[in-house]
Amino acid sequence: MTLKDIEKVILQKTTEKDYIDKSIKVNHLKIYDLEEEAERMVKARWVISEASRITQEQFKILVEELVTSAIQSVFENQDYKFIVDFSLQNNRPQINLLVQDGDKDPYIPRDEQGGGLMDIIGFALKVVMWSLQSPKNRNVLILDEPFRWTGNYTQQAGMMMKEISKKLGLQIIMVTHDERLMDIADRSWLCKREKDISIVREVQTTNILTKEKQDGKRKGKKE
pLDDT per residue over 102-113, tens digit each?
999 999 887 655
Q: What is the mean pLDDT of residues 165-174?
A: 93
pTM: 0.69
Range with top average pLDDT, 41-45, 148-152, 205-209: 148-152
Whole-number pLDDT of residue 160: 94
pLDDT above 90 for 183 = no
- Cβ atoms of 146 and 123 within 8 Å: the answer is yes
Average pLDDT, the chain: 83
Under the banding of pLDDT at 50, 70 and 90, the label for residue 48 is: low
In order of 39, 149, 219, the CA distances from 130 in angstroms are 39, 23, 45
Stretch 92-96: mean pLDDT: 84
| Confidence at residue 39, expressed as pLDDT on a 0 to 100 scale | 81
Under 8 Å between Cβ of 192 and 214: no
Of the candidates 139, 127, 71, 132, the one whose C-alpha atom is nearest the C-alpha of residue 99 is: 71
SS3 194: strand
Buried b vs exposed e over 53-74: b needs ≥16 C-beta within 10 Å? eeeeeeeeeebbebbbebbbbb
Asked if pLDDT for residue 223 goes beyond 60, the answer is no
Lowest mean pLDDT among 42-46, 74-78, 193-197: 42-46
Query: How would you classify the pairing of strands 171-175 and 140-144?
Result: parallel
Rounded Cα distance, 9 and 1, in Å: 11
pLDDT above 80 for 204: no
Backbone φ, ψ for residue 175 (5° rounding): -105, 125
The closest alpha carbon to 120, from 171, 86, 164, belongs to 164
Q: How confident is the model at residue 219 (pLDDT cuts 50, 70, 90)?
A: low
Higher per-residue pLDDT: 7 or 57 = 57
- The mean pLDDT of 35-55, rounded to a whole number, is 74
Main-chain dihedrals φ then ψ at residue 218, nearest 5 degrees: -65, -45
Give per-residue pLDDT as tens, 113-126: 567 899 999 999 99
pLDDT of residue 108: 87
What pLDDT, on a 0 to 100 scale, did the predictor assign at position 98? Answer: 93
| The pLDDT of residue 220 | 53
d(CA 43, CA 63): 30
Reduced 3-state DSSP string for 75-131: CCCCCEEEEEEEEEECCEEEEEEEEEECCCCCECCCHHHCHHHHHHHHHHHHHHHHH
Q: How far apart are CA 170 and CA 127, in angstroms?
A: 9
